[in-house]
Structure 1
Amino acid sequence: MRRILFLSIALALQTAATTANAQETRVATEAIPSQPLDRALNALSRQTGLQFVYSAQAAGNPQTRAIPAGLPPEEVLEQLLDGTGLRYRYLNATTVTIEAETAEAVPAAAPPTTGTAPDGAASLQADVAPQELESIEVVGSYSRSLEQAVDIKRANIAFSDSIVATDVADFPEQNLSEALQRMPGVTIERNKGLGTRVNVRGLPSEFTHVSINDLATASGSGGRDVEFDIFASEIIQQVTVQKSPTAADEEGGIAGSVQISTARPFDYNGRKLVASAEGAYNSISEETDPKFSFLASDTWGDWGALVSYSKAQRTNRTDSTSGINFRPMSRFLEATGPRADQAAEVLERDAGVIVRNPLDRDETNRIIFQDKVGDRIYLNDQDKWGATASLQYKPSSNFSLTFDAMVGGYDTVEDEYDAAAYSASSRSTLDTIHEYDDTTLSKYGMVVLRDVSYTATQHEFLSKEFIKNTDYSQYSVAMDWKTGTWTIDALVGYSGAEKTSDFANLKHVAYAPSRTRWTGRSGETIPSADPASFDMYDSPERYLFEAYETTLEKVTDDKYAAEVNFAKSLDLAFLPALSSVQFGARYTDKSKERYYGALNIQGPGPGDSSWVNTRTLADSELRWVTDIVPGGSYRPKNLDWRQASNDYARRTFRYPGFVTPFDDGQYYRVDEEVASVYAMGNFHFDVGSVPVVANAGARFVDTSVLSSGFHQIQNPDGSSGYTDAPVSKKGSYSDLLPSLNMTAELSDGLLLRAAASETLMRPALTDIAYKRTASWNSFRFTDGNPDLKPTNAKQWEVGLEKYLQNGGLLAASYFWKEIEGVVRNELTGVVRNVEKLNANGTLDGYYDFDVYQPVNADGSYEVNGIELIAQLPLSMLHRSLEGFGINANYTLLDTSLTGESDLGIPTPPVGLADKTYNFTLYYENDRFDARVSYNYKDKYVEGIGYEMYPIWRDAYDQVDISIGYKLTDRVKISLKGINVTDNETTGYTMDPSFPTMYEFSGRRISLGLRADF
């Protein structure tokens, strides 16, 4: 089989030691280990910027010996080719051919002193005769993208894993987070069938630092986590997840650092044009959604320009029974009057439970009833676009100046139609306990009421509309300059996002006796024996209008950054092991500003409440819910109901001139400034016959925070009531973060890698902010805490990596982290006699509200685990398997952390799954390719209900497929499927016999066409 390699610097590796002038000085690069010649040339290409054209079939692919770092490229080539019968020849300043010594005699010339240095996917230079080199360019190869990812992993001094353009863009992904889920140790959080946030090694998403083109990314979430669903994977060129930091990294991230790169014009040699289009069909919504993207790039002389654009629409329906959470009996027992007395009597009569002290929450919170059963249909319409632009000036291989821009928008409209029964209504109490469970959770002293009739359940029909618009933008200018033994690079940039969330809820309520119970997969509400009970799904005349609730939130998230780095190659007689040093500084200025308001409409005009308790659901325009949303019947149950559509609600209840006003008391702003400096050294030495490469350094980080907002104070004039008074507070902290990374090549292709570091993750800006959020149904306030400090971690990792021919890799590593200062919500006070109103403005009662704040928890906890990787072209096992391969990884975690349960119920950290693994089987030849991918995420805690009861998301697995066929060398048709087995999503509270969720999002099938020129 003929094999032609084009080796180039298409993927710029951010190694600590960068290259110096290839003509005049030695290069400060990683040592090139012994390996087949094609892979050695690939490594040299990345390190120097040279491009190699080489036919392995014509010239052979001999094994080379290890070459120490610090040699000029010509000396490296001479040592690589010594004894092979091959020679090198410069065609111009950046292109080198490797050919047999018996070829037509042309001297192995020294490199020319002038010329351009494109550093992208190589193709032939204009002065090279095609018949002499017999060269073609191979594009769109999945196996080649895996090989490039392995090359990046091998060359990086730190623990890392990567995916590159073909792998990112050519799999059935809906967004960038889903593209990342196939990387070792990376899992994603799913929301109604769509990947959203990214977890690295099972740690919470806010423990992961994310940057695009070396600039920390804003997504409008207000936290440190990035909402990856706003980014289209088609405009991304490369993603590296770095799991052990170096001192040069802006933030290490306790879980890791996701480094995203977009394309630049000199990534390609000359003109490049790619266009693709597809249609995707969702099995539940029965809608077909379009998506298209293109990339255009060209270079002329010293200049290059690139633009890319992607636009996609997605209409996805999700059917779900949910909201079936635990509710503590303190809800009824702490109520004043006969409701509490009746609850205590029924408990003793029907379950034999005697309540000793109704105000002792340690007792009453261990008696559980079902909070709510909701039957819900969601329809999510998304309109997403993203674009990048890059203008690059590169007069030589020693200097480049690049302007990068990335802009986009992510607009969603989600309609939720909810028929629910709220057992814990303020009017209700226990009537009859039909079934209770005092054994399943008896070790926690808990009794669960499985099947109960209630005196006045709050039955609800809710038509909810969520409109979210996110606009993001990022601009940066980067300079890379090599002069003599010095390398200087600098960056200035801006990253920002603005998110607007408009929420509305048309609420109709009917109070009546009913019976609510757990079923095998979820829960249900049915009529009780009380003659006043009714069929909640088919009695619209019983439901009274309560309110058309609206909220409006606007968040701006901005970050400015400036950075400069210096690297110098060294050749010290007294310390020959020190090959280079690097130092630099960075300054960032980040801010988050939030406006929020709420207003309920209760009549046809401002201040009018004439519709309350007079207008019924039957007075609205009603349709069967399965007709309002596209698709077929409701999947979890044999059930249908009539409801008012959100379109009708908006037209009917928003009177002319209505706006939701912002509330000054809900405003806050957080400003954060960070200045940091670092220094590190790169070492190359031998221990016996084993070459060792090490990087050691430290980063000093100084942070100042200003949090501003409003807080309620007693009216200063002595009158009753409260006033929102402006408040602000400053905070600061500093940290010294050392790091050490090293590799040792124990034998040919066998690499021992080790790392140790200290790192941090800053608290979310929303947690720092001055604000008070009320949860009226939970009887609690949540305050911000400007005094929060970062969460810190000490960590180390050791691993073995075996690099095989043709891009194969077997790797195993063990990692350990000690994390302290974890941010938790804790009870910090109580506000007595808080007035609580119903949605219609009537008095519900006066209650004591708990005040919770995020605090840095005392003590520390450990997380450790193992990570296994197998990436194997199966042709290495037998010739008949040519074209087949596997790409698999497995991560196993363990932790000493217990959760935040106020009842002391042990639980792992929120979001941490003990086991995750991915397996992809692929086949490809010159025309056809096929891939089947299976990913699995073990069960994990997704939240702590009422700060007491861990709510678990069940283990989830998914099968995705991709099939492609090249109609021509440049045009490819593909068929892709997401969740082809149509798996449901389920969850439970504490034990699977208490389900909380039974949800279907369907499968997604797409057909696409791609042209590459």
Structure 2
Amino acid sequence: MNPFIKSSIALACCGILYATPALADGRVQGRITDASQSVYFGGAKVSVKELNLNTVSNRDGSFSFNKLPAGDYTLVVDYIGAASVEQKITVVDSQVFTQQIIIGAQQDAIDNIIVYGQSAGQAGAINRQKNATNLKSVVSADSIGQFPDQNAAEALQRLPGIFIARDQGEGRFVGIRGIDPNLNNVTVNGLNVPSPEAGVRSVAMDVLPSELIQSLEVSKTVTPDMDASAIGGSVEVKSLSAFDKAGESYSFTAQGSYNELESKTSPKLSGSYTNVYELDGDLDLGVATAISWFKRDFGSRNMETDGGWSEFDVEDAATGDKVSLFGAEEIEQRHYQITRERLGAALNLDLHSGATAKYYLRTLYSAFSDDEYRQRNEYKFSDGKLLDSNESGANFSGAEMDRDTKDRYEEQSILSLVLGGENQLDNWFVEYNVGYSKSAEKEPNRLDVTFAGKDIDMGYLARVDTPLLSQSTNAHDLSLFEMDKIEAAKNLSEDEALSLKLDFSRDFVWQNNNGEFKFGFKHQNREKRNDVNVAIYDGDFLGALGSDFAAPAPDFDLGSFGPGLDRDAIQAFVRKNKEAFAFNSNESQIESDGQSYVSNEDITAAYAMVSMDIDKLHVVAGVRYEGTKFETQGNQVNLVVDKVSDTETVTTTPWQVSKDYDYFLPSLNLRYNISDKLVTRFAYTNTIARPTFSDSAAYQLIETETVEDEGVMVTERKAEVGNPDLDPYESMNLDASIEYYPGSIGVLSAGVFYKDIDNFIIQQEVQDNGDWDGFDEVVQMVNGGKASLTGIELNWNKTFKSGFVLGANGTFIDADEKLPNQADTVANIIVGFENHAISTRLSASYKSESFQFDDADMAVYEDSHMQLDFSSKYYFNDNMNVYFNATNLTDEPMYLYHGEKRYNYQYESYGRTFELGFTLSSF
């Protein structure tokens, strides 16, 4: 057994053996509030001075000490942004002492920014970060409101070490410390969130409106009572609770936004209500509800080089010979028109029976729809004859061109239900919950239609961002483009999870040191289903031409696009004539059966840990066990093409595979308080990340083609296969940091981290591994060895008495291998000013270039990205404000390049967005 595991178990046993009866029956409980008793303070450090016993107040400001010896003590409360408070108390055996503690009472109410100012959220977040047992970053609901962030992903991007992956300019996935979003964990109210998107584990956090969120916490080191699937870290989303504030509270927001690219205005409405009702006896019922609705009309302009830049053969126009050319075989122009709608709702119930029994129901529902119409021009250079070329470009005659449309309405939803409670049972504190969550993505009526044109002269000139295209006039004559192919799809992806969790903890004293022993269990059952139903039609389109569906030319500023295609006319034509089209059963079967699968995953976890205060040192040590049973069911799809007899057949055979594995994962988190203002941390942790569902799904697409070459029959076999035998990523992590907290609201911190990642998953050709004899090419995801990275994380935030707000953070990473989505530098700069009338923020978020994947033996990189946003608020009074936000002020695009920056892989621009709104709220 690992020596560290042995020592952790030994320490845990000491916690039980040395749990002494010196802790008598006295109990101290209380709540930390302000002079008006309308605001509660979570994250405050509360100490019993004489016993060196410490705790941290909960989000509702409550705290408790159990089984204290009878006697006189001093309670000390430390909260950044307020003076330290001391309160004398007397503990009597078998009695409960209740003490409400007021902080900030000596300050003038006008200047008390920890209560009334916009810095209140930042103060709470910094206190929770300082007093946490592990290394974490926190953003509160108040802080979210100071930036023009529309969803949970965008709200997180301001934190040190966090980057976001965007879709159509909006933040969607969250990466931590340069680690791909698929390798992180996301929970909502403590419940693991399944992903609505097919094949992935990363949660699309743009489905979570920021208005439903009370706080976001990013844990960069894990403790044994946390899920181990967090190589980059773990994101905890907490929704609002009625006990976050005293009494009744409400808010209502109305907003209009304007997208510059599409010249359209979009509405947004949100509201919340909370109240605590006193029931019989000492029962208190808290009710919190919130709803948010947002509809946004916008678009994007895009150019892509399909397949990238590589060597390919083309006919020389002068000689008729085949010549080899390095260049682009196909370049695309894309015009997107998008309507996105979000509806989010939360209803949270809390029932408190005194301070020793609490029960809760947490619900969150979010629906997200994406109505997208894409028009595309595909310039197919390799189908033409080469006229001339150089290292930057080429010209062709008689080439082919497709004009096509993608008409897709997509719905995503997340439902999260958590029912649980906590009880103080004599010496033991018990926490428990049962959770159910379900995510889904539906594409009910996707329609892709292609029109093909021939004999077009075209050329390109490579340059940074967008290639310069040239074309003959017939490229824009829709009467020369015949309807060539239709794909109609009904797709459904579902991800459903049920979990049970039970935790026990008990205080003890060991050699005059206060500690806590904790152990627990968790079981989660998860099913990921991907149902693909594609119907492909490739003929008998009644002579339909592009000109039959002509529409005005789209507004496209990346080159000459030509006339558009009418969405409604195409839909009507397909509905009316579908039965007359030639159905391609083989291609339809390949697409449908080859992408459909069901995967089941059962995870059983158990842990034991000890937390202990040894003078100024706080220790959390323990071990976590996670066992996984994985089963996947899919299809082996065989396509046999015999060009000699001109036959083509497709057969589908069900394929089922199972795999079990388990891990023991020790960890150690240390926090040493050099002083009240200076904190150091060290952590040794072990984490894992399970393969994505698409990589580990049971599917095989096998193609066998037979041709006759000079009288000889030649058979070529190729395959693309999933890999259910993939092992999880494994990572050993080291973290060390130092944090300085001045007397006012602010923090200055520096940290280093190291990650040694094993079983990295990459795509390889595996036809020579002994399992695929006779195959010419087999592509599969495999465990590809090790990768490591070392990083430095710097952070400074400061709110000055003058009202100026400054913030800067940067994470700088050195990796020994190209890791997907790994950026070497992630940074933020924030400049602002606020008082009781106005609040402004100018923020810049930067992410350096990052490796994405390899294509045609060259690396594809996403170029560096820096986005500039502005937000401002004017407060008419404590209950009403008006705000103005401007997003993406510099119209920063997304750019991917292939090998060198001049070789476009994808370029997409989104335009600026401006928002104007007002909020009514109770304080």
The aligned runs of 1:386-785 (5 Å cut-off) are 386-424=344-382, 428=383, 430-436=385-391, 450-501=392-443, 502-520=445-463, 521-527=465-471, 534-572=472-510, 575-577=511-513, 579-602=515-538, 609-611=539-541, 614-618=543-547, 620-626=548-554, 633-637=555-559, 639-655=560-576, 663-664=592-593, 666-686=595-615, 691-712=616-637, 721-772=649-700, 781-785=719-723
Query: CA 1:183–1:1004 in structure 2 vs 1: closer, same or farther (change >3 Å)?
Result: same
User: 1:208 corresponds to which residue?
Assistant: 184
| Corresponding residue number in structure 2 for 1:923 | 833
**TM-superposition CA deviations, 1:580-617 (whole Å, max 9, x none):** 11000000001111111221345xxxxxx3227x3321
Residue of structure 2 aligned with 1:866, choices 772, 785, 792: 792
Question: Cα distance, 1:373 vs. partner?
Answer: 2.0
| Shift in CA distance, 340/264, structure 1 to aligned 2, threshold 3 Å | farther
Q: Which residue of 2 aligns with 1:354?
A: none
| Aligned residue identity for 1:524 | L
What pairs with 1:925-940 in structure 2 (closer than 5 Å)? 925-940=835-850
Q: CA deviation at 1:699?
A: 0.2
- Confirm or deny that 1:888 pairs with 2:808: yes
CA deviations on 1:416-438 (whole Å, 9 max, x unpaired) are: 111220223xxx265233212xx
The residue that corresponds to 2:56 in the other structure is: 47
1:635 aligned partner, one-letter code? D
Report the Cα offset of residue 170 of structure 1: 3.9
Question: Does the CA-based 8 Å contact 1:407-1:472 persist in structure 2?
Answer: yes
User: Which letter does structure 1 place at the counterpart of 2:825?
Assistant: K
2:233 aligned with 1:312: no
CA distance in 2: counterparts of 1:254 and 1:708, whole angstroms: 27
Instruction: Write the letter of the residue equivalent to 2:693.
Output: L
CA distance in 1, matches of 2:71, 2:147: 37
Measured in 2, the distance between the counterparts of 1:701 and 1:147 equals 36
After the TM superposition, which residues 778-793 of structure 1 pair with which residues of structure 2 at under 5 Å, given as runs? 781-793=719-731
Please point out which of 818, 821, 824 is paired with 1:911: 821
Amino acid at match of 1:473: L
Alpha-carbon distance, 1:217 to partner: 0.3
Aligned-pair identity in percent equals 20
CA shift in 2, pair 1:710/1:998, >3 Å = closer
**Does 2:245 align with 1:323?**
no
Q: Identify if the C-alpha distance between structure 1 residues 1009 and 85 changes in structure 2 by more than 3 Å, giving closer, same or farther.
A: closer
Is residue 343 of structure 2 the alignment partner of residue 379 of structure 1?
no
Q: Is the 8 A contact 1:750 1:800 kept in 2?
A: yes
Task: Give CA-to-partner distance per residue, 1:693-741, whole Å, 9 cap, x none.
Answer: 11000001110111111213699xxx98342122211101000011100
Structure 2 CA distance for aligned equivalents of residues 991 and 720 of structure 1 = 41
| Superposition deviation, residue 140 in structure 1 | 7.1
Distance 1:377 1:22, change over 3 A: farther
Deviations along 1:448-494, one digit per CA (max 9) or x if unpaired, are xx322335422111121122111221111121112333211001001
CA distance in structure 2 between the aligned counterparts of 1:313 and 1:871, rounded to whole angstroms: 34
| CA deviation profile, 1:254-313 (whole Å, cap 9, x unmatched) | 000011111112122221111111111101111111111111111112111111111101
Counterpart residue number, 2:887: 978
Find the counterpart in structure 1 of residue 207 from structure 2.
230
**Shift in Å, 1:190:** 1.6
State how far apart, in whole Å, the 2-side matches of 1:133 and 1:281 are: 38
Residues 785 and 536 of structure 1: CA distance in aligned 2, closer, same or farther (over 3 Å):
farther
Q: Aligned with 1:459: secondary structure?
A: strand
Conserved 8 A contact 1:453-1:513: no
**8 Å CA contact retained: 1:923, 1:929:** yes
Q: 2:440 is matched by which residue type in structure 1?
A: E
Deviation, structure 1 residue 783: 1.6
Partners of 1:70 and 1:411 in 2: CA distance: 54
SS of corresponding position for 1:676: strand
1:86 deviates by 7.7
Superposed counterparts of 1:75-224, under 5 Å: 75-77=73-75, 88=87, 141-221=117-197, 222-224=199-201
Contact 1:916 1:937 in 2 (8 A): yes
Does the Cα contact within 8 Å between 1:291 and 1:313 map onto a contact in 2? yes
Distance 1:231 1:122, change over 3 A: farther
1:916 is displaced (CA, Å) by 1.2
Q: 1:965: Cα distance to partner?
A: 0.8
Once the two structures are TM-superposed, the CA of residue 765 in structure 1 deviates from its matched residue by: 1.4
Residue aligned with 1:936, SS? strand
Q: Is the 1:275–1:1011 contact (alpha carbons within 8 Å) kept by the matching residues of 2?
A: yes
Are residues 160 and 673 of structure 1, via their aligned partners in 2, closer, same or farther at CA, if it must alter by over 3 Å?
same
Instruction: Tell me the equivalent position of 2:858.
Output: 949
Indicate the residue corresponding to 2:6 in structure 1: none
> What are the equivalent positions in structure 2 for 1:254-265 lying under 5 Å apart?
254-265=231-242
For the residues of structure 2 that align with 1:85 and 1:173, how far apart are their CA atoms?
34
Q: Name the CA shift for 1:960/1:666 in 2 (closer, same or farther; >3 Å).
A: closer
User: Hey, what does 1:822 align to over in structure 2?
Assistant: 760
The answer for the alignment partner of 1:530 in structure 2 is none
Where in structure 1 are there 5+ consecutive unaligned residues?
A: 1-15, 30-37, 54-66, 91-107, 125-129, 348-366, 437-449, 528-533, 603-608, 627-632, 832-846, 876-881, 898-907
> 1:668·1:708 contact (CA, 8 Å) conserved in 2?
yes
Q: Secondary structure at the match of 2:211?
A: helix
Q: Per the alignment, in what secondary structure is the counterpart of residue 285 of structure 1?
A: coil
Checking the alignment, whether the CA contact within 8 Å between 2:68 and 2:91 is kept in structure 1 is no
Hey, what's the Cα distance between the residues in 2 that align with 1:820 and 1:792?
5
- Residue 74 (structure 1) shift: 7.2
AA at the equivalent of 1:674: I
Normalised by the length of structure 1, the TM-score is 0.77
SS at match of 2:45: helix
Of residues 302-311 and 370-379 in structure 1, the stretch that sits farther from structure 2 once superposed is 370-379
Q: Is the 8 A contact 1:706 1:731 kept in 2?
A: yes
- In the TM superposition, residue 650 of structure 1 has moved relative to its aligned partner by 1.0
Give SS of 1:319's match. strand
Deviation at 1:565, TM superposition (A): 0.5
Provide the secondary structure at the position in 2 that maps to 1:805. Answer: coil
CA 774–173 in structure 1, closer or farther in 2 if over 3 Å, else same: farther
CA 1:132/1:26 → structure 2, altered by over 3 Å: closer, same or farther?
A: same
Name the aligned partner's letter for residue 384 of structure 1: R
Give 5+ residue unaligned stretches, structure 2. 1-14, 17-21, 32-39, 48-54, 279-283, 641-646, 705-716
Q: Does 1:989 pair with 2:904?
A: no
> Are 1:812 and 2:750 counterparts?
yes
What is the TM-score when the length of structure 2 is the normalising length? 0.84
Say if 1:224 and 1:343 are closer, same or farther in 2 by CA, change over 3 A: farther
Aligned-CA RMSD value: 3.9
How far the C-alpha of 1:943 sits from its partner, in A, is 3.2
Amino acid in the other structure paired with 1:989: H
Q: Which residue of 2 aligns with 1:355?
A: none
| In 1, Cα distance between equivalents of 2:699 and 2:285 | 50
Report if aligned partners of 1:973, 1:1007 keep a CA contact under 8 Å in 2.
yes
Deviation of 1:332 after TM superposition, in Å, equals: 3.1
Q: SS at 2:120's partner residue?
A: helix
CA contact (8 A) 2:176 2:233 kept: yes
Distance 1:224 1:254, change over 3 A: same
CA contact (8 A) 1:21 1:484 kept: no
8 A Cα contact 2:349 2:360, kept in partner: yes
